[in-house]
Structure 1
Amino acid sequence: MTYILLIVGFALLIKGADLFVDGSSNIARLLRIPAILIGLTIVAFGTSSPEATVSIIAALEGSAHVSLGNVVGSNIFNITLVVGVAAFLYPLKVENETIRKEIPFTLLASAALLILMSDIALQGFSSNLLTRSDGIIFLLFLAIFMYYVIEIGLKSRKNTEEEQAPKDIKWGKNILITILGLAGIIFGGNLVVDNGTEIAYSLGMSETLVGLTIIAIGTSLPELVTSISAALKKESEIALGNIVGSNIFNILFVLGISATISPLAVDNKVFIDVGIMIALTAVLLIFSRTSFRVGKREGLVLAAAYIIYLVYIILRN
């Protein structure tokens, strides 16, 4: 029964995120917000909402290792398997200046996470902890990122004609869809955390491992579906932009809110995972800078890297 409830939870997360993205994107069009702003904020935030819900619920329930493991595991899954599969289906062009700036910003956010959780090494404390003040620092970083995105959006608005919202888009319907999506995300998130941790304990897995694997993969399914769909439609910038934007939201928003709610204890094993996340982000930056595209070969390398990483963390446990 626990496994069935876990699957139901994931289904609600995925469908909820899908409805949330559709509804909120249409509301943004009704408000005549530029398309680039929708992609960088609403789509990225919408596909990150399962991670946010699961991590916040885990923080409230005192499962700190699930919160941190979920974010780090999701980011590694996004950079490797999601980008890898999308690039294999259709080479991802990196032409947009915005994306080329977002990847270094992801690297900066990842480095900030490593520094803020290294309390023993840097400050001589008895334990490593993401404190409430660390959470607030993440949220301040997020405010800087949002300012940058809004500035980009306003510039694009000046350079392009304002798009009119299609007549078939209605306020009432999209507000309802957005609320239903959010409800699905929250309820599904509860089921995933409760049943995922129960399964972990029954199998002798640690909270950190279940966060890095089962929950991380489950909450990253919206990114996977969105990016594969974008790649198949040859919308390569949406595919890559969605992943990079989601990873920034995962670190700055998800961990920022989670740590502000309840300080997060850091498992020593997570330092290796954060190091791997930073290294893989750097690899993605190199791939995107060299020929301004992530092709089939690079996609296979990234996908293979995730398989190797998954085997490593399972054996490590």
Structure 2
Amino acid sequence: MTYLFLIIGFALLIKGADFFVDGASKMARAFHISPLLIGLTIVAFGTSSPEATVSIVAALEGNAGVAIGNVVGSNIFNITLVVGLTAMINPLKVDSVTIRKEIPFTLLASIALLILISDISFQLLSENFITRGDGFILLLFFTIFLYYIFEVARNNREKIKEDSGANQESSPWGKNIVITLIGLAGIIIGGDVVVNNATTIAVSFGMSETLVGLTIVAVGTSLPELITSITAALKKESEIALGNIVGSNIFNILFVLGSASVIAPLAVEGKIFVDVLLMILLTVTLLVFSRTSFRIGKQEGIILTVAYIAYMIFIIMRN
């Protein structure tokens, strides 16, 4: 029954995120927001809401390893497999602003996380923790990111309005609000089911909480990003696809871990440092790939996909 409930939880997460993104995106388009900004905000936050729910529930239940492992594992999954498969389907065009600002901001968030979990190295505490103070710092960074996004949206809104006047979204507001709320409910319920049952399965197999967070939970909660980005690539909406991935990673580190640690300080296992360093290295790799002709092509996609397979083998053997 545990496995059945885990599958049901993932189904609720995925379908809930699908409803949430669909309803919220249609409402966002009514405000004439560009595809890249929709990807960075509404779509990214919607597809990251499973990670937020799972990590916050895990923090409330004292499963710090699941909370942290979920975020780090999801970000690695996004950069490698999601970007890799999406680029293999249709090469991703990268906006110059994304290269200069959004991806570097993701890198900054990753480095900030590494610093905040290194309490022993800085001789601040006898154990490594993401404390409530660290959580507020992450949320402050997130506020700065939101301010930047809203400023970009405000500056570009009139231009987008002129370009898309004939294609204004006509779906009724009431219907979209209901769809969004149904999606949010599915995400919350599904997140609770996933945390409880994944932890039970991990214990039965002798897996650590961090490992189950990095694997089962991370992959499950990142499926909305994968589905959304592949769908966007098939529709040749590469700005939404890449914006979704970059925005999700920023949201995961700053908002998800920030909120979770404010609710309950998170103890950090020593093994996670390798994964955080790898996340930083992969973010740098994404930045380098993005600068090659302002696109991430099929070859880069293959490299990133292979990197994820190698990473999965590594962490399973490490356990």
Q: Normalising by structure 1, report the TM-score.
A: 0.96
Corresponding residue of 1:299: 301
Amino acid at match of 1:68: I
Choose from 207, 220, 223 the match for 2:222: 220
1:271 paired residue among 270, 273, 277: 273
Structure 1 portions without partners, runs of 5+: none
Equivalent position of 2:152 in the other structure: 152
Query: What SS does the aligned partner of 1:43 have?
Result: helix
Secondary structure of 2:53's match? helix
* Sequence identity (%): 68
1:107-133 deviation line (CA, Å, top 9, x unaligned): 000000000000000124210000001
> Against the structure 1 CA distance between its residues 141 and 220, is the aligned structure 2 distance closer, same or farther, given a 3 Å change threshold?
same
Indicate the residue corresponding to 2:91 in structure 1. 91
With over 3 angstroms needed to count, the CA separation of the structure-2 counterparts of 1:106 and 1:306, relative to structure 1, is: same
Partner of 1:169: 171
Q: Give distance in 2, aligned partners of 1:94 and 1:38.
A: 15
Q: Which stretches in structure 2 are left out of the alignment for 5+ residues?
A: none
| 92 and 35 in structure 1: CA distance in 2 versus 1, 3 angstrom threshold | closer
Residue of structure 1 equivalent to 2:109: 109
What is the match of residue 39 of structure 1? Answer: 39
Partners of 2:160 and 2:22 lie apart in 1 by: 23
Q: Closer, same or farther in 2 for the Cα pair 1:34/1:227, shift >3 Å?
A: closer
Report the counterpart of residue 195 of structure 2 in structure 1: 193
1:230 aligns with 2:228: no
Q: CA deviation at 1:233?
A: 1.3
Shift of 1:272: 0.4
Partner of 1:261: 263
Structure 1 residues 35 and 41: CA distance shift in structure 2, 3 A: same
Shift in Å at residue 255 of structure 1? 0.3
Q: Distance in 2 between matches of 1:197 and 1:127?
A: 23
The answer to whether the Cα contact below 8 Å between 2:36 and 2:243 also exists between their aligned partners in 1 is: no
Give, in whole Å, the separation in 2 of the partners of 1:2 and 1:36: 39
Q: Is the 8 A contact 2:116 2:134 kept in 1?
A: yes
1:140 corresponds to: 140
Measured at CA, do residues 132 and 124 of structure 1 come closer, stay the same or move farther in structure 2, by a change above 3 Å?
Answer: closer
Once residues 89 and 237 of structure 1 are traced to their aligned partners in structure 2, the CA distance between those partners, rounded to angstroms, is 14
Q: Tell me which amino acid in the other structure corresponds to 1:216.
A: A
Any conservation in 2 of the 1:84–1:298 contact (CA below 8 Å)? Answer: yes
Alignment of 1:7-18 (within 5 A): 7-18=7-18
Cα distance in 1 between the residues matched to 2:15 and 2:83? 21
**TM-score normalized by structure 2?**
0.96
CA 1:80–1:225: 2 relative to 1, 3 Å: same
Is the 2:99–2:290 contact (alpha carbons within 8 Å) kept by the matching residues of 1? Answer: no
Q: Does 1:29 align with 2:25?
A: no
Counterparts of 2:193 and 2:286 in 1: how far apart (Å)? 33
2:260 and 2:76 map into 1 onto residues whose CA distance is: 19
Q: Tell me how far 1:166 sits from its aligned partner.
A: 4.6
AA aligned to 1:182 is L
After superposition, the C-alpha distances for 1:198-247 in whole angstroms (9 at most, x for unaligned) are: 00001111100000000000000000001111111111121111101100
Distance between the aligned counterparts of 2:255 and 2:144, measured in 1?
Answer: 12
Cα 1:286/1:73, change in 2 over 3 Å: same
Q: SS in structure 2 opposite 1:71?
A: helix
Quote the residue 1:59 is aligned against: 59
**2:244 partner letter:** N
1:88 maps to a residue whose letter is M
The aligned residue for residue 20 of structure 1 is: 20
CA distance in 2, matches of 1:103, 1:170: 35
Task: Supply the distance in 1 between the matched residues of 2:31 and 2:317 (Cα, whole angstroms).
Answer: 50
The CA deviation at 1:105 is 0.5
Q: Distance in 2 between matches of 1:167 and 1:103?
A: 30
